[in-house]
Structure 1
Amino acid sequence: MHVTGTAPQPAPAPSEDRTVPVGDPRDTTGAVDAHDSGSRHARRFGLPVATALVMGNIIGGGIFLLPASIAPYGTVSLVAFGVLTVGAIALALVFGRLAARDPRTGGPYVYAREAFGDFAGFLAAWAYWITTWVSNAALAVAAVGYLDVLIPVNDHKWTACLAALALQWLPALANFAGTRYVGAVQLVSTVLKFVPLLLVAVGGLFFFDPSRLGPFNTSGHSAVGAVSAAAALLLFSYLGVESAAVSAGEVRNARRNVGRATVIGTSGAALVYLLGTLSVFGTVAHNRLVTSTAPFSDAVDAMFGGSWGGTVVALAALVSMTGCLNGWTLLSAQTPYAAAKDGLFPAAFGRRRRGVPTVGVAVTVVLSSLLTAYNYLSGSGKVFEVLVLVTTFTATVPYLLATAAQIFHLVSGRRESVDRARLARDSVITAIAAAFSLWLMAGAGYAAVYQGALFLFAGIIVYAVLAARRQRREA
């Protein structure tokens, strides 16, 4: 169990049932801390906010450029979307099953540690933490491009850098204010960004012209090869399916609501992705879409005329990215918080105020800010692009470990007390999720896997130091 104020206890054996009822005073990871529970600033998320957290973190700003990115492959890219959606929903179902077993803050970290022990849990926490703060830096830099449409900030690298830093620190301040404000910002930003997205996704169907779709496969490869190539660009779009599971301790009735929020949020995001991309394909001519830098703006202009589409889409993208940064900032602190309670991260990460691990938020936003400043001041885009690709690899490490934990539970479960039909269904879903996780990892590319492995090996050194210090204290 997690112990606060004393030396961390050894991890239980993998077979031990560590599940603690929600609200139990022993559940120091999966519930709001005692000193937080009475605060008006700390409030647990209900199903709507948990669902908004999932959808808001999956749908960032990439949706506004996605149709143009995959247009060179032809409409076969829509098939790739469908395949990826099946894998993402299977992964969402696995997270729902695991959260029902152990509804505590930490998500993949908790599941990996329960099944395989401290070292696997640490790797899941370390990899996920890297993913969050590198992704936040990338998202802030991308958001500046949309902000420049509304307010010129890209004229000088210093103004662009300051704008990117402000876009990271504003969501961090919302997190410092407490989970009540995090949930409010997430819900409002998710609703606001869906207005223009649904305008194109649904409204575009009334202006749909099949002649604008272009050829089915323009990649020059076979259909299977084209699907794989298009999928490599789309893989990053579904990162965030674990959002509700990572924050399970802040979700009311987590055993029930985490799974529902994960599946509903992932399905909703997939529907917006598919309808939005299909509508843009059917409203913007293919030869123009291939070279477009603002496909949703072009779609709005084609639907209603005028040139106001660019401003509307830029504003929607900015709201979308700010909401995404708000959610990812919270997630960036939740996994280290859970690991710190087990002695697998520095103890400072285990401090929480108003329901938010404030030290984790502060360290994360400082690291992402330093990376952002380095990107602007060094003038090197390649270094930053490689780091962004690394997040695809580092995110799949906890995904794969969580899926392996579900496989462990399915194989090691008592056969005489298991519903065989449900076991078969869960086995198929888990197999699809495992294949999806491996596909994500492969899609990151050789360079990203190489760089990501270096990040993981650096974590092994950190683990060795923390484990040695813990053993010395226990002795």
Structure 2
Amino acid sequence: MAIALVMGNMIGSGVFLLPASLAPFGWNGVAGWAITIGGALALAFVLARLTVAFPDAGGPTGFVERAFGCIPSFMIGWAYWVSVWTANVTLAVASVSFLSIFVPALGQHLVLSTIALIWLVTAINWRGARAAGRFQLATLLIKLVPLVAVIILIPVAFGRAEPVAVTPFPAEGLSFAAVSGSAILTLWALLGFESASVAADKVDTPRVTIPRATMIGTLATGILYLIVCSAIALMLPAAAVAQSDAPFSLFVETYWAREPALLVAAFAAVSALGTLNGWTLIQAELPATLARQGLLPAWFARTNRHGTPATALLLSSMIATACVILNANKSTSEMFTFMAILSTSVTLWLYLACAGAALRLRVAIPVALIGLTYALWTLWGAGIGVSALSIVLMAAGLPLYWWTRHTAARPAPAH
């Protein structure tokens, strides 16, 4: 279940659109994948070693608190929490959009359908981490089907009589700027390898389970992405892939048939739904962890009889519902673009802080240096504007932090 949480949170709806964004990069995109997978594995290893060294820390925010204190831990955790429930809105919208191909009425009532889906997944998570884990495992097995189908079609395509027109390797070699540009996009597809660590309080024997789940999930997802996205980008005309709204369907239709290609939308809907389920678990566990650290009001950590942080779960879903209503006039693509940029930049600060914490706490120092360098490089590549926005987002929660600390320090009234 922990592996399913990691892989399920990484493999979302975005991967079904990512090959279109990477198509113009050609072989530079393949190099970007290789660098991103290496950087993600380094950061995943750092999180795994921190979990072994400090199993009771409560995840990434606990590591940051031990290394740098309460305020940096709160700022990182607050911004990450905001990015999670806002990204959940995007996932719900994407799932409804894919499903509307088969049930047009859903698309005609997008806002109501999205809100209903958010609360359906909230109800699943209300039943506890094990119920959410079973649902995550089932959706992961389903969402892997189109990825495996593309992998099977690769040798089938080369075995046909008609030659496959593979994009040639550029005569001038790889471009550093192009590789950097593609690496930012590929990192967005790999966000989420920290999920098992964030949900550490719900994992049996976290000292063993979390490192294994983190490394296995990250490596398996990275290899799947590298093979599948590279095949779609290199085995189809770049212009056609770049202009396609469904590059997976285009690949399946080109090397198989139109009917199976239509089913990709159904798998994409399940993929988005599974990712929404995993991140809904995280959106409840993260503020509960911050509350247990004394960084948020104690009521965030209150649990129901299933062990679910009920207050945090309901509040997060209510905020997500409000976001759907407030953004009712935005298109799916506009919401995707904004949330991809924001989620990537905010999560990069989390990765950067964890790598810095490992160095400060003297855990996995050589690998932490690699992870720190990679996070800084990618944060620079994301742009000054996005990085500044993420800093503003982190600072926005400080009044709540100071109010929480002030309230906790206030003496209890005499009776």
Fold shared by both chains (TM-score > 0.5): yes
CA shift, 1:283, in A, is 4.0
Pair 1:226–1:388, CA change in 2 (3 A) = closer
User: What is the 5 A alignment of 1:21-420?
Assistant: 49-104=1-56, 106-153=58-105, 156=108, 159-208=109-158, 211-216=164-169, 223-305=175-257, 307-353=258-304, 354-377=306-329, 385-410=337-362
CA shift, 1:390, in A, is 1.8
Aligned residue for 1:473, secondary structure, equals coil
RMSD of the alignment, in Å?
Answer: 2.4
Pair 1:152–1:271, CA change in 2 (3 A) = same
CA distance in 2, matches of 1:380, 1:322: 15
1:441 is the counterpart of 2:379? yes
CA distance in 1, matches of 2:163, 2:93: 36
Q: Is the 8 A contact 1:138 1:388 kept in 2?
A: no
Pair 1:215–1:428, CA change in 2 (3 A) = same
Residue segments in structure 1 that go unaligned for 5+ positions in a row: 1-48, 411-422
Pair 1:366–1:212, CA change in 2 (3 A) = farther
Pair 1:341–1:76, CA change in 2 (3 A) = same
Aligned residue for 1:376, secondary structure, equals coil
Report what 2:400 is aligned to: 462
Give identity over the alignment, percent. 33
CA distance in 2, matches of 1:380, 1:245: 30
How many residue pairs align between the two structures?
409
CA shift, 1:254, in A, is 0.8
Aligned residue for 2:276, secondary structure, equals helix
Pair 1:387–1:281, CA change in 2 (3 A) = closer
> Residue type matched to 1:459 in 2?
G
Q: Is the 8 A contact 2:23 2:234 kept in 1?
A: no
CA distance in 2, matches of 1:100, 1:256: 7
Pair 1:388–1:283, CA change in 2 (3 A) = closer
Q: Is the 8 A contact 2:25 2:182 kept in 1?
A: yes
CA shift, 1:243, in A, is 0.6
CA shift, 1:222, in A, is 6.4
> Residue type matched to 1:317 in 2?
A
CA distance in 2, matches of 1:268, 1:437: 21
Report what 1:27 is aligned to: none
CA distance in 1, matches of 2:336, 2:156: 40
CA shift, 1:344, in A, is 1.0
CA shift, 1:379, in A, is 6.8
TM-score (norm 2): 0.92
Report what 1:42 is aligned to: none
255-264 vs 309-318, which moves further: 309-318
Aligned residue for 1:162, secondary structure, equals helix
Instruction: Tell which has more relative contact order, 1 or 2 (C-alpha 8 A, sep 6+).
Output: 2
CA shift, 1:170, in A, is 1.6
Q: Is the 8 A contact 1:235 1:443 kept in 2?
A: no
Pair 1:100–1:474, CA change in 2 (3 A) = farther
Q: Is the 8 A contact 1:130 1:391 kept in 2?
A: no
Counterpart selection for 1:453 from 391, 395, 412: 391
Q: Is the 8 A contact 1:161 1:376 kept in 2?
A: yes
Show CA shifts across 1:51-92 (max 9, x none): 110000011111111111110112220110000000000011
Q: Is the 8 A contact 1:106 1:335 kept in 2?
A: no
Q: Is the 8 A contact 2:94 2:332 kept in 1?
A: no
CA distance in 1, matches of 2:350, 2:270: 28
CA distance in 2, matches of 1:381, 1:64: 13
Show CA shifts across 1:263-287 (max 9, x none): 0000011011011113323543333
CA shift, 1:378, in A, is 6.0
> Residue type matched to 2:41 in 1?
I
CA shift, 1:139, in A, is 1.5
Aligned residue for 2:411, secondary structure, equals helix
Aligned residue for 2:307, secondary structure, equals coil
CA shift, 1:345, in A, is 0.6
Q: Is the 8 A contact 2:26 2:233 kept in 1?
A: no
Pair 1:105–1:298, CA change in 2 (3 A) = farther
Q: Is the 8 A contact 2:16 2:268 kept in 1?
A: yes
CA distance in 2, matches of 1:438, 1:170: 38
CA distance in 1, matches of 2:201, 2:332: 40
CA distance in 2, matches of 1:141, 1:443: 28
CA distance in 1, matches of 2:46, 2:319: 31
Q: Is the 8 A contact 2:167 2:235 kept in 1?
A: no
TM-score (norm 1): 0.81
CA distance in 1, matches of 2:223, 2:354: 25
224-233 vs 255-264, which moves further: 224-233
Residue segments in structure 2 that go unaligned for 5+ positions in a row: none
CA shift, 1:446, in A, is 2.9
Aligned residue for 1:60, secondary structure, equals coil
CA distance in 1, matches of 2:367, 2:249: 38
CA distance in 1, matches of 2:9, 2:378: 17
Q: Is the 8 A contact 1:190 1:320 kept in 2?
A: yes
CA distance in 1, matches of 2:17, 2:336: 19
CA distance in 2, matches of 1:351, 1:246: 17
